[in-house]
Amino acid sequence: MTAGMSQTRKRRTSLGLRGCLLTTMAVAAASSVGFAATAPSAIAADAQLKQWYLEPMHAEEMWKTTTGEGIKVVVIDTGVNSSTPSLEGQVLKGLDATNADGDETDDYNGHGTTMAELIAGTGKGGGLRGLAPGAKIIPMRVADTDFQNKNSVNAYDTADSIRAAADSDAQIISMSFGSEFKMDREIEAVKYAQRKGKLFFAAVGNEAEKGNKAIYPAAYPEVVGVGATDKQGKVSDTSQHGDFVDIAAPGDDLPFWCDENFERYCQGNGGTSAATAITSASAALIWSAHPEWTANQVLNVLFDTAGRGDWEKGTLSNYLGHGIIRPAVNILKGTGDPGEADISPLTKEKTSGSEGSGAPSASASSQPEKKDKAEDAAMAGSSTEKNDSSQLGLILGGVAVVLVIGGGAFALVRKRRSA
């Protein structure tokens, strides 16, 4: 299944069952923006203005300090079309792990290209504006259920992609893809990526109302599981929850490529797919601003600056993990504790030496149980930031939407759930 714009769930019946990506692209009918009969400027206005999270996240202000330059992000997905105007010059050589016809730039349904644009799109030609437009994308193509049903593919494509990502010079791995099933080869690849000092984000899935099972690789202890929030500031109804959720980001009601010919964008729920891409871009901004930091320190700052409202620091939510991403709190205010370079924020274990990235990595250990679940609500900003005239407390870091009422005041919309 695709971690995003949700439709029917199809399961992969061979080894490594993963179901359609965490988002299928059907429903192209809903609110589409077409290239055919529309001028590029109009397309830009339509698609880019629908990226509602950029303003409350203070993207324009952050880009004056950093755009993510110097950071490379591996996108493990359906492929990335490097020919879209927004990705021109943004996509580097990657890997087609499917072993089917085509290569990693042959995106068979548009999902991977959407994720890449949300991370590093320049916005040219009416394309989506990435939160880290200075970053570069390394695409790794894997097969979703539909693609697998039509082609003879490599059963270990995700594991092979993760290992290749670990061996690349990318700092971040973004994977809006998942399965209900663990696979030994994938587990070893994930641990290998951690030993290489990579920061790995994955979507937790969009079937909270249809079983809410743990999704891998997001549920592996070495991977940052990303949940989604909607435009109103609530945890997305479809965003899966459990102790595998580490952080959350905006995901609902966003533009996406809705056809394999790349002729139009549609509006829909990118869900945890989009949230993962936006979180990866947030990490790219922070890492670019602090290139001397390790993956552990970048992640620790993401956790430390996450929006929690009056939720006590140190508590975790089954729905939001540490809270809602707010990279501007670090980029614009310089706050956020990077912590120890060799301590994993995920496992709390001391990390071993890197095998090649130059950054220390976390040891392979099981993730500690997340206790003292916080009130599961979409929150933005701590109470101490509510009167900040710079409105940094409004950084919609993910879910939370803080609704601006005027001046520096705002209301916090919550959605209460039992843990």
More confident residue, 139 or 10: 139
Task: Tell whether the model's pLDDT for residue 367 goes beyond 70.
Answer: no
What pLDDT, on a 0 to 100 scale, did the predictor assign at position 242? 97
Residue in 77, 160, 252, 342 annotated catalytic: 77
Contact status, residue 413 vs residue 392, Cβ threshold 8 Å:
no
Q: Residue 352 — pLDDT band, cuts 50, 70, 90?
A: low
Average pLDDT over residues 314-330: 94
Q: Is residue 369 pLDDT above 60, yes or no?
A: no
Task: Confirm if 250 and 278 have CB atoms less than 8 A apart.
Answer: yes
Tell me, yes or no, if 376 is annotated catalytic. no
Cis amide prior to 368 (ω within 30 degrees): no
Band the pLDDT of 261: cuts 50, 70, 90. confident
Q: Give 418's contacts (C-beta < 8 A, 6+ positions apart).
A: 376
Domain 32-412 has CATH 3.40.50.200: yes
With a cut of 60, say whether residue 170 has pLDDT above it.
Answer: yes
Which tokens is 56 given? 């409350």
Q: What is the pLDDT of residues 87-144, one digit of tens each?
A: 999 999 999 999 999 999 999 999 999 999 999 999 999 899 999 999 999 999 999 9
Q: Considering 82, 273, 317, 357, which one is annotated as catalytic?
A: 273
Q: Which listed residue (111, 174, 239, 252) is catalytic?
A: 111
What is the 3-state secondary structure of the chain?
A: CCCCCCCCCCCCCCCCCCCCCCCCCCCCCCCEEECCCCCHHHHHHHHHHCCCCCCCCCHHHHHCCCCCCCCEEEEEECCCCCCCHHHCCCECCCEECCCCCCCCCCCCCCHHHHHHHHHHCECHHHCCECCCCCCEEEEEECCCHHHHHHCCCCCCHHHHHHHHHHHCCCCEEEECCCECCCCHHHHHHHHHHHHCCCEEEEECCCCCCCCCCCCECCCCCCCEEEEEECCCCCECCCCCCCCCCCEEEECCCEEEECCCCCCEEEEECCHHHHHHHHHHHHHHHHHHHCCCCCHHHHHHHHHHCCECCCCCCCCEECCCECCECCHHHHHCCCCCCCCCCCECCCCCCECECCCCCCCCECCCCCCCCCCCECCCCCCCCCHHHCCCCCCHHHCCCCCCCEEEEECCEEEECCCCCCC
Q: Comparing 13 with 126, which gets the higher pLDDT? A: 126
Q: Quick one: what percent of the chain has pLDDT higher than 90?
A: 65
CA angle, 196 then 197 then 200, to 5°? 105
* Mean pLDDT, residues 378-405 taken together: 31
Higher model confidence: residue 183 or residue 20? 183
Higher pLDDT, 83 or 40: 83
Per-residue pLDDT at 71 exceeds 70: yes
Confidence of residue 319 (pLDDT cuts 50, 70, 90): very high
Query: 50: how many CB neighbours lie within 10 A of its CB?
Result: 15
Distance between CA atoms of 268 and 264, rounded to whole angstroms?
A: 13
The answer to whether 111 is a known catalytic residue is yes
Report the predicted TM-score, pTM, of the whole model to 2 decimal places.
0.80
- For residues 87 and 118, is the Cβ–Cβ distance under 8 A? no
Give me the mean pLDDT over the 13-41 stretch.
Answer: 33
User: What confidence score (pLDDT) does residue 268 get?
Assistant: 85
Judge whether 253 counts as a catalytic residue. Answer: no
The amino acid occupying position 65 is: T
Q: How far apart are CA 227 and CA 237, in angstroms?
A: 11
317 token code pair: 């939510």
The per-residue pLDDT of the chain, averaged, comes to 78
**pLDDT band with cut points at 50, 70 and 90 for residue 232:** confident
Backbone angles phi, psi at 35, to 5 degrees: -80, -35
Whether pLDDT at 39 is above 90: no
Question: 177-218: per-residue pLDDT in tens?
Answer: 999 999 999 999 999 999 999 999 999 999 999 999 999 999
Among 135-149, 200-214, 301-315, 365-379, the range scoring the smallest mean pLDDT is 365-379
Q: What is the CA radius of gyration of the chain?
A: 19
Share of the chain above pLDDT 70, in %: 73
